[in-house]
Amino acid sequence: MRVLVCGGAGYIGSHMVRMLLAAGHQVVVFDNLSTGHSLAAEPASLVVGDLLDVPLLETLLTTQHFDAVVHFCARSLVGESVSEPYAYYENNVIGTLNLLKAMRAAKINKLVFSSTAAIFGDPESELIAESHPVRPINPYGSSKAMVERMLMDAARAYGLCSVALRYFNAAGADPSGEIGESHEPETHLIPNVLRAALDGRNTLKVFGHDYATRDGTCVRDYIHVNDLASAHTKAIEFMANHEGAHQFNLGNGRGFTVMEVIEAARRVTGVRVPFEYAPRRAGDPPVLVASNAKAREQLDWSPTFTEIEAIIESAWRWHQNPRF
């Protein structure tokens, strides 16, 4: 297959690119490098461009043949989305609409879309299944929920086949150590824990320790980035015989508190991670854990990195010697 990976120079997208290339597919990456790295997209061919550049997008899609598009591009900082909502709706909603229109013009009708647990807002239950109401509480989550809605409408009107994958907390790095997570600023827990382990002056801030959880800190479902990538491959296969717009929650189905992650990082790195308690971070739900039953049943997908230590260990290999 020839696959266009939008956002393939980013953290999760670059792991997808590697997996597709390893399976023998041809891959073109489209990325504006706003948060991605050209080295991360190698050795796929990289088109540097923006989803807001409609002529460039249309030319790429109509002059080259693609069997499917995998779309990772987004702004994805929850706090920033609250202070700059227009930037989020512009990039995540209008950018995606431009992509959908260009796909329609080029008669490409298969899309895998990066959605998020943030569409669920403050969850009603600890284990979140696809039947849970979609009620985002910040513009980032709203922008992703809007795209899911567009995909349902596009399925009915234009026959677009799509799979929206709602990731919980992406974590870890490719075991080769050649690619991994590199964001500036870094807001995610595991890279910040490992930065603190590497440099004792980077004291980790633990946001809130008065939640109604087993140790007072937030619970999250950490899912390895290569397990997310393999779910995209399964989603592409799924679209070969399923029409319409589909949604799947992707996680390990098990939650860990911030303190449990810090303790697991100590076991992996041998370093007692320096931390201090800080106030709660606005918009953090206490517990987010995925039910992955639907993905297991319908996509025939299951995570391979089921232990938090194995996930952290792969990230540790990357953070000790990052290439970008």
Ligand X SMILES: O=c1ccn([C@@H]2O[C@H](COP(=O)(O)OP(=O)(O)O[C@H]3O[C@H](CO)[C@H](O)[C@H](O)[C@H]3O)[C@@H](O)[C@H]2O)c(=O)[nH]1
Site for ligand X, rule CB under 6 A: 76, 116-118, 169, 187-189, 192, 204-207, 218, 220, 258, 281, 284, 288
Restricting to residues 7-36, name those near ligand NAD by CB under 6 A: 7, 9-13, 31-36
Does residue 255 belong to the site contacting ligand NAD (CB under 6 A)? Answer: no
Tokens representing residue 72 in the block: 């990772």
245 counts as binding ligand NAD under rule CB under 6 A: no
With tokens 């297991």, the residue in question is 296
**Is there a contact between 43 and 29 (Cβ–Cβ < 8 Å)?**
no
Q: Residue 118 carries which DSSP code?
A: G
Question: Site residues for ligand NAD, window 95-134 (CB under 6 A)?
Answer: 95, 114, 116
Is beta strand 169-171 parallel, antiparallel or unpaired with respect to 256-257? unpaired
- CA-angle at 76, arms to 56 and 53, nearest 5°: 10
**Which residue is at the shortest CB distance from ligand X?**
218
Choose from ligand X, ligand NAD, none: what does 226 bind? Cβ within 5-8 Å by kind: none
Q: Is 42 left (phi over 0), alpha (psi -120 to 50) or beta?
A: beta
Q: Minimal distance in Å, beta carbon 302 to ligand NAD?
A: 19
Q: Is 72 in the site for ligand NAD (CB under 6 A)?
A: yes
**Binder among 169, 217, 249, 292 for ligand NAD (CB under 6 A):** 169
Q: How far apart are CA 49 and CA 32, in angstroms?
A: 5
Cβ atoms of 301 and 231 closer than 8 Å: yes
Does 226 interact with ligand NAD (rule: CB under 6 A)?
Answer: no
Nearer Cβ to ligand X (76/98): 76
220 binds, among ligand X, ligand NAD, none (CB under 5 to 8 A by kind): ligand X
C-beta of 57 vs 231, nearer to ligand X? 231
Q: How far is residue 296's CA from residue 42's CA, in Å, rounded to a whole number? A: 31
CB of 35 to ligand X, least distance (A): 12
Rounded to whole angstroms, what are the CA distances from 68 to 44, 142, 160, 214, 295?
16, 25, 11, 43, 20
User: Which stretch in 73-81, 149-157, 236-244, 253-261 sits in contact with ligand NAD by CB under 6 A?
Assistant: 73-81
* 31, interface contact from ligand X, ligand NAD, none, CB < 5-8 Å by kind: ligand NAD
Work out what residue 239 binds among ligand X, ligand NAD, none; the CB cut-off runs from 5 to 8 Å by kind. Answer: none
* 89 is known as an active-site residue: no
Q: How far is the CB of 93 from ligand X (least distance, A)?
A: 16
Residue 74 binds ligand NAD, judged by CB under 6 A: yes
Question: 251: closest CA among 193, 299, 201, 291?
Answer: 291
The residues with which 246 forms a beta bridge, in sequence order, are: 163
Q: With CA atoms as reference, report the closest residue to 291 among 150, 123, 78.
A: 123
Whole-number Å distance between alpha carbons of 198 and 270: 11
Report the alpha-carbon distance of residue 168 to residue 289 in Å, rounded.
7
Active-site residue, selected from the candidate residues 11, 88, 140, 167: 140
Q: Which residues are catalytic?
A: 140
- Binding residues for ligand NAD, per CB under 6 A? 7, 9-13, 31-36, 50-52, 72-74, 76, 91, 95, 114, 116, 167, 169-170
